[in-house]
Amino acid sequence: MIIKAGIILLILLISLMFPGVINKTNAKIGGRKGAPVLQVLYDNIRLLKKGNVYSRTTGFVFRLAPLVYFASILSCVLFIPLGNHKAVFSFDGDFVLFAYLMALGRFFMILAAMDTGSGFEGMGANREAYYSMLAEPAFFIVIASLSLFTDHTSFYDLFNHLHPQSNLSYLIAFLAIYVFSLLALAENSRLPVDDPKTHLELTMVHEVMILDHSGFDLALIQLAGGLKFAIYGALIHNLAVPVSLPFALQLAILLGVEVIFAMIVGVMESLRARNKMMKNPQWLIAISALAVIAFLAVLIITRKFSLV
């Protein structure tokens, strides 16, 4: 139990610095000094000390949504194993509950945006729902590919039986890592899907959804965003690193993987322009198409489907 608590604590600590590493990377590439890595944490602490301001047009759903959003993402941490140590919740098909806990928080944020009665926030909610619908199949197809390859259906068993089989498993893991990396950008409404720094409502997605949130609620939403990135970084670590390594080394590598992942996100945001709104669906469908290719490849490799 102590080890499981340590894994959870490390992921939580990483989530606090993740947005700061992204911002610092953006600043360095742009030739600026940039804010300290922990500046985002300081800002969230300041927001946590402030009260909330609610519009008279909003109801209880608007007030409840940030709490549900943060709690659902925080619950997802309990499904993340590390090395030979199981997660707090580990059972066959646990990835299904994991995915729908993620979806639950997003659902409530969409409801909160619509509860404001604002046309702009409703527009952002519509885009969030549409993009999420297109991105979700990629996650399940990738997990299905890993499940077929390993004959297991829980995160712990998937990761523990992936690498020992053959060098081919590393190719499958690489494809899964690539898909998860792109899904993390879509889940967090980052470039090329959405620009968190834009103030043009006609092109905003996530930012326009939280325009009416303030104080403590806004801090919870921002903390949940960093936690999402840390969760996907932990999944990528489990796909990339063999479970046979010592646990202490696993923790050190996890920290390194998370930092590198954050820096890669920062580099992508600095060097890649935002997609046109009409191209976002194509981009998300392409991710699912790549996942389907991986799934078909696994079917053929495992001889569960034959072309003859």
pTM of the predicted model, to two decimals?
0.92
Q: Of 56, 58, 57, 75, whose CA–CA distance to 67 is shortest?
A: 75
Residues 6+ apart with CB under 8 A from 27: 33, 34, 35
Instruction: Give per-residue burial for 53-78: e unless 16+ CB within 10 Å, then b.
Output: ebeeebeeebeebbebbbebbbbbbb
CA distance 72 to 303: 38
Q: What is the mean pLDDT of the chain?
A: 87
CA distance 212 to 96: 32
Residue 174: its pLDDT value, please? Answer: 87
pLDDT tens digit string along 140-185?
Answer: 999 999 998 888 999 999 988 887 556 677 788 888 999 999 898 8
Residue 203: its pLDDT value, please? Answer: 65
> Secondary structure of the chain: what % helix, strand, coil (to 5)?
70, 0, 30
Supply 40's token pair: 């985002």
Neighbours of 199 (CB within 10 A): 9
Residue 231: its pLDDT value, please? Answer: 95
Residues 6+ apart with CB under 8 A from 196: 189, 190, 206, 207
Name the H helices within 116-167.
Answer: 119-150, 155-160
The Cα-based distances of 25 to 30, 165, 232, 234 in angstroms read 9, 37, 19, 20
Is the Cα dihedral 162, 157, 302, 183 positive or negative?
A: negative
CA angle 273, 275, 277 (to 5 degrees): 145
For the chain, 308 residues long, the average pLDDT of each consecutive 10-residue run is 81 92 90 88 93 89 95 95 88 94 94 88 86 91 90 90 72 88 86 72 75 92 93 93 84 92 89 81 90 86 64
Question: Phi then psi for 82, rounded to 5 degrees?
Answer: -150, 120
